[in-house]
Amino acid sequence: MPKQFLPLAGEPMLRRTTKIFVTHPEIDGVAVVIHPDDRALYDGATQGLGLLDPIAGGAKRQDSVLNGLEALKESAPDHVLIHDAARPFIIPRDVSACIAALVERDGAILAVPVRDTLKRGKQCITDTVSRDGLWRAQTPQAFRYLAILAAHRAAAGEALTDDAAVAEKAGLSVALVPGKENNLKVTTAEDVALAERMLALASGKTRVGSGFDVHRFTEGDHVILCGVSIPHDRALAGHSDADVALHALVDAILGALGAGDIGEHFPPSDARWHGAESRVFVERACQLVRDAGTCFANVDLTVICERPNLGPHKPAMSERLAELLDLPVGRIGLKATTTEGLGFTGRGEGIAAQAVVSLFVA
* Least distance CB 278 / Mg ion (angstroms): 8
Residue 232 within binding range of Mg ion, rule CB under 5 A: no
Q: Is 35 left (phi over 0), alpha (psi -120 to 50) or beta?
A: beta
Kindly report the number of other CB atoms within 10 A of residue 232's CB atom.
18
Cβ proximity to Mg ion: between 84 and 213 the closer is: 213
Of 14-22, 159-167, 212-220, 275-283: span binding Mg ion (CB under 5 A): 212-220
Using a 10 angstrom Cβ sphere, with 0-12 exposed, 13-18 middle and 19 or more buried, the burial of residue 219 is exposed
Asked if 79 interacts with Mg ion (CB under 5 A), we say no
The region of 207-215, 223-231, 306-314, 348-356 touching Mg ion under the rule CB under 5 A is 207-215
Which CB, 162 or 213, lies closer to Mg ion?
213
Site for Mg ion in 171-200 (CB under 5 A): none
Closer residue to Mg ion in complex, CB, 247/313 = 247
Which stretch, 30-38, 172-180, 241-249, 341-349, contacts Mg ion (CB under 5 A)?
Answer: 241-249
Minimum CB distance to Mg ion smaller for 89 or for 281: 281
Q: In what side-by-side order are the strands of the sheet with 332-337?
A: 234-236, 205-219, 350-361, 295-304, 332-337
Q: Which is closer to Mg ion, CB of 94 or CB of 213?
A: 213
Kindly give, in sequence order, each residue whose CB lies less than 8 Å from that of residue 178, ignoring residues fewer than 6 positions away: 110, 111, 112, 113
Amino acid at 273: W
Nearer to Mg ion, 216 or 307 (CB): 216
Which residue's C-beta sits nearest to Mg ion?
Answer: 247
Sign of CA pseudo-dihedral 55, 58, 60, 63: negative
Nearest distance, CB of residue 4 and Mg ion, angstroms = 45
Q: What DSSP state is assigned to residue 54? A: P
165 CB-near residues (< 8 Å, 6+ apart): none
Q: How far is the CB of 57 from Mg ion (least distance, A)?
A: 56
Point out which span in 35-43, 89-97, 201-209, 243-251 binds Mg ion (CB under 5 A).
243-251
Specify the residue, 85 or 246, whose C-beta has the smaller distance to Mg ion. 246
Q: ω before 268 within 30° of 0 (cis)?
A: no
- 105 interacts with Mg ion by CB under 5 A: no
Binding mask 129-158 for Mg ion (x = CB under 5 A): ------------------------------
Count of CA atoms in the C-beta half-sphere (13 A) of 177:
26
In angstroms, the CA 71 to CA 51 distance is: 14
Rounded to a whole number of angstroms, the minimum distance from the CB of residue 215 to Mg ion is 6
Q: How many CA atoms lie within 13 A of 249 on its CB side?
A: 35
Nearer to Mg ion, 144 or 247 (CB): 247
* Smallest separation (angstroms) from Mg ion to the CB of 225: 12
Other beta carbons within 10 Å of 67: 15
Interacting residue with Mg ion among 247, 254, 299, 354 (CB under 5 A): 247
148, 80 Cβ separation under 8 angstroms: yes
Is 213 a binding residue for Mg ion by CB under 5 A? The answer is: yes
Contact set with Mg ion (CB under 5 A)? 213, 247
